[in-house]
Structure 1
Amino acid sequence: MSGDRILTGLSLRLLAVMLLTFMAVLIKLAAAHGARLPEITLFRQFFAIPVAMIWVALGPGLATLRTTQISGHITRTALGVFGINFTFGALLLLPLAEATAISFTVPIFATILGALVLKEPTGWHRWAAVVLGFAGVLIVTQPGTGHIPLAGALVGLTSALTVAVIAIQLRQLGRTENAGTTVFWFSALSCVPLGLVYPFFAAAHDATTWALLAGVGIFGCMGQIAFTAALRFAPVSAVMPMDYSGLIWATLFGWLIFGTLPGGWTFVGAPVIIASGLYIVWRERRRGLPASPVVAPTEEADAERERGVEERRPAV
């Protein structure tokens, strides 16, 4: 693979991280304007549908949205609705940088689930990385000190665990479905249960709040697309370190928009969590294993199968 293609993949991954971090900022701003979690999750999915359809229409065509795996998409949707509420809940309960740091535990949970569920061989090196990663979580959260809300930390860890579970299911679904189809059906199907809950939380909002809610869906979907496109040009092991740039964006946006900076322990614990995740990926690459599809905290972790496929799709 040429250096230019890898550079394109890295650039797209960096763009994806920035877009998804900006989505997180919009979530916190929407909540500050009075939008509640059920509203935010519904409109995150609703406003993503047209973006996904445009992407598919410009690429392989809308005909590819047909699926024979509707039961798989329903399962993915059930898990996804659960996970998205915990992901957004963590953003509402925690400062932006701390929520981002805790989300980096996805590869740690991936290793545990790979060993327990998929029976993947896991040596002491990767188990040591798991222990190191959770030590980093303890450093960031400082349980018992009130450094950050314990409920927020637990919600964030539950979110990371759910993302890892979803990625295992996506590994199976991705054998027959491309990423565009998966994004579309998740967004569309999840609007059904979220829409049933919405009337109990619906409220009148001003134009600014509606713009923020629309932005959550648009930037979130664009971030997913950029994640997927990155893996058409570079392997997971190459682009995965770019995901940790999210802590830089989270710190910058937190300071500029919310006037907050991470606590000192976050700067100590976050590198420990990051080192754990990078070591897990390095061990997989060294042993010649396929990179885990859950090494990155993204809903579309099955996108590696998109590399070299659907060449008619324009670069994002």
Structure 2
Amino acid sequence: MSSDFHSPGSLRPHHAGGIAAMLAATSLFAGMDALAKLLMAADYSVVQVLFFRAAFGLLPLVPLVWRGGLRSVATQRPWTHVIRSTIALVAVGCFFQAIHRLPLAQVTAIGFAAPLLITALSVPLLKEHVSLGRWLAVAAGFGGILLVAGPEAWAGDLLGLGAALAVAGTFLYALVIVLMRVMGRTEAAVTTVFWFSVLTMILCGAALPLVWRTPDTQAWGLFAATGILGGIAQLLISQAVRLAPASLVAPFDYFHIVVSASLGWLLFSEIPTLNTLAGALVVMASGLYVLRSDKGR
């Protein structure tokens, strides 16, 4: 009989490496979000932030492509990459716009609903069966999102728009993950990251002259760090699921909110509200239930 979670005795030495990689990835993503928030607070356009996020995000891939040659980024599904990358670009854009308007911890907590949305989307798109218990967990998680968003989500001001953007970004991110489940049968992680970066540069580069603002020395450093942190984080997630089962490392993604809340407090004097903390707990509990159910199938 299989258990829902790995017992300590069933952990293997390389599993610790997978957990460490996931913790590092979530920390780097939180750092990337904080840097993007700093850049947009300095009046750099989200288009410019996304362009340099993609451009500098290619740097961590250089050793892998150098070692594996162009074969390592060759693809059998170019149009699927175009669709997936376009949706992912809009998702990241929504998240960046959301963190420009809302505290980092609040946007992170809303983003935790992604596993719940993946469950919901897997029914029409992947024809998967979802039990009543998992549907109830999805419903509870959506209630948690409303709690995190707070009463401002129903207002017509910038806070309401920020919550709407965070929810939209979470939905689109979940759709990206569903697409990657299909693409993963033929596409390596480095291929997916490479083409996302290249296509993001092409799409954002077309609009870049309209919003260009010449960065100063400090901004160049922030742009470079944003891209490099994001690129390394993407590779670390791939390493995490290579070293340990996804069901083991996935819960450690919730460490993201600890780092986000800490950076929000240190850099922006943001204090998480009780709504944010309570809603985050509801969303995380719902996500963990769905994770347990997925492992038990």
TM-score under structure 2 length normalisation: 0.92
2: distance between equivalents of 1:261 and 1:148?
18
Contact kept? 2:50, 2:200, Cα under 8 Å = no
1:222 to 210, 215, 232: 232
| Alignment length (residue pairs) | 286
Question: What letter is aligned with 1:125?
Answer: G
CA shift, 1:105, in A, is: 0.6
Bigger drift between 168-177 and 92-101 goes to 168-177
Match of 1:118 in 2: 126
Contact kept? 1:37, 1:89, Cα under 8 Å = yes
1:3 to 12, 24, 34: 12
Q: SS in structure 2 opposite 1:35?
A: coil
Match of 1:20 in 2: 29
Q: SS in structure 2 opposite 1:117?
A: helix
- The C-alpha deviation readout for 1:35-74, integer Å capped at 9, x for no partner, is 111110111111112222223434x444322223222221
CA 91–121 in structure 1, closer or farther in 2 if over 3 Å, else same: same
Match of 1:100 in 2: 108
1: distance between equivalents of 2:64 and 2:23?
19
> Unmatched 5+ residue regions in structure 2?
1-9
> Unmatched 5+ residue regions in structure 1?
288-316
Match of 1:266 in 2: 276
1: distance between equivalents of 2:141 and 2:133?
12
1:194 to 192, 204, 208: 204
- The C-alpha deviation readout for 1:178-219, integer Å capped at 9, x for no partner, is 000111111012211110011100012211011111111110
1:70 to 75, 78, 98: 78
Match of 1:153 in 2: 163
Bigger drift between 107-116 and 67-76 goes to 67-76
CA shift, 1:83, in A, is: 1.5
CA shift, 1:259, in A, is: 1.3
Contact kept? 1:9, 1:229, Cα under 8 Å = yes
* Root mean square deviation of aligned Cα: 1.7
CA shift, 1:149, in A, is: 1.2
1:55 matched to 2:64? The reply is: yes
State the percentage of identical aligned residues: 33
Match of 2:49 in 1: 40
Higher helix share: 2
Question: What letter is aligned with 1:80?
Answer: A
Match of 1:308 in 2: none
Contact kept? 1:53, 1:62, Cα under 8 Å = no
Match of 1:277 in 2: 287
